[in-house]
Structure 1
């Protein structure tokens, strides 16, 4: 007969895992309650986060006051705070997404993780620097049924002239204009497609 796993000591929560997988506490069917049980209720709260175009969205915040451990989780069923819609890694967060993606990862490393070139929107577009097509690479579909989205930002030292070259509809990740601004990952979105 299978025995129930022993409860983890409270100390385990302090060294919480830094990797997000599309399973376990981050599986599609997870909830605010599961996050609170995993990361300790005092490290989890429900509140407003910044959404697209200046909007505000409601989300569960894991480690809300610790910029390096902060994580935002949005729900498909907001009233019950259940069924993961989107997990957002942004700001200074140190979380690692599937396939080793993390904030600050350079373009070449992202291309290597995908196993082939992909398409990115120009930096002057709404949500500029977002990957718009993984071109069937390794990041196009992940185990567990989630999808990963990435927004890149030009290197802080990129010149205005270089940024102007990386403007327009879309670019291949191999494009010299895109490489010219030395973009790095600024935001990672891990989501579950709506049924």
Structure 2
């Protein structure tokens, strides 16, 4: 894999671009009889739920927790607020890598680790609340969000290798791009040329793991390196990013 797979949000997000998804509405049949009040209440869409439950709203049933779902680079803030609740969408900023400026982010459910989702915006449009979304980012090990392959934060390197069906190469820890996966070695999780989505995975040490027992520094390591026999369970997914690299091409 070439160096484009190092694209992490912190690098000014200059290498992350976007694409979009669509859905087809289903025609509504003409009513044939007066509705049963009890049935209507049980089949009403989530959007009609009482306001008191808005703070804990879940994605639409048709999307479950799989990303990107209906989210795309041109999803607006108004659409996010309508779906998740206005009070559950917050403006944030994340520090850039290697001294670069902060990156604008919209955080959905900022106070709920299981539902928290960060939408990284185009850093060249910092004053535009509808700036294109460049990446969807999840970092919480308890998150319900996942990608189409079932990847999510908290998974061990050993689990990644098993799902990939091939070794995985990654940068050593303890620097700005530490732990970012560089090569899937042709496995099932590889980002193929022409894919509509780009999946970025970053590894980190499992809590309470001794740092000296793990590979560090600006060097690429393999998951099957015999010098590091314990890294399969000592390293876990700390970040999962999903972007749209072919939008506009």
In the superposition, the TM-score normalised over structure 1's length comes to 0.80
Instruction: Provide the residue aligned with 2:65 in structure 1.
Output: 19
1:1-195 matched pairs, under 5 angstroms: 2-3=27-28, 8-10=47-49, 14-17=56-59, 19-24=65-70, 26-53=71-98, 55-76=101-122, 78=125, 79-91=128-140, 94-98=143-147, 99-141=149-191, 145-163=196-214, 165-167=215-217, 169-181=219-231, 182-193=234-245, 195=248
- Could you say which residue in structure 1 is the equivalent of 2:16? none
Cα pair distance change 1:172/1:56, threshold 3 Å:
same
CA distance in 2, matches of 1:144, 1:9: 36
Q: Secondary structure at the match of 2:48?
A: coil
Q: Deviations over 1:81-113 (max 9, x none)?
A: 243211111245513321111211111111223
Deviation at 1:141, TM superposition (A): 3.5
Query: What CA distance in whole angstroms lies between the structure 1 residues aligned with 2:108 and 2:228?
Result: 33
The alignment's C-alpha RMSD in Å is: 3.0
Alpha-carbon separation, structure 2, partners of 1:157 and 1:66: 24
TM-score (norm 2): 0.65
Q: Structure 1 stretches (4+) deviating beyond 3 angstroms?
A: 141-144, 165-168, 176-179
Query: Which structure 1 segments of 5+ residues have no match?
Result: none
Distance 2:197 2:107 in 1: 20
Unaligned runs of 5+ in 2: 1-25, 30-43
SS in 2 for 1:21: coil
Decide whether the 8 Å contact of 1:147 with 1:192 is kept in 2.
Answer: yes
Residue 40 of structure 2 corresponds to: none
Partner of 2:14: none
Higher relative contact order (CA 8 A, sep 6+): 2
Distance (Å, rounded) in 1 between the aligned partners of 2:134 and 2:228: 30
Count residues with an aligned counterpart.
Answer: 192
Deviation at 1:152, TM superposition (A): 0.7
Output the CA distance in 2 between the equivalents of 1:170 and 1:186.
18
Change (3 A) 1:193 1:9: same
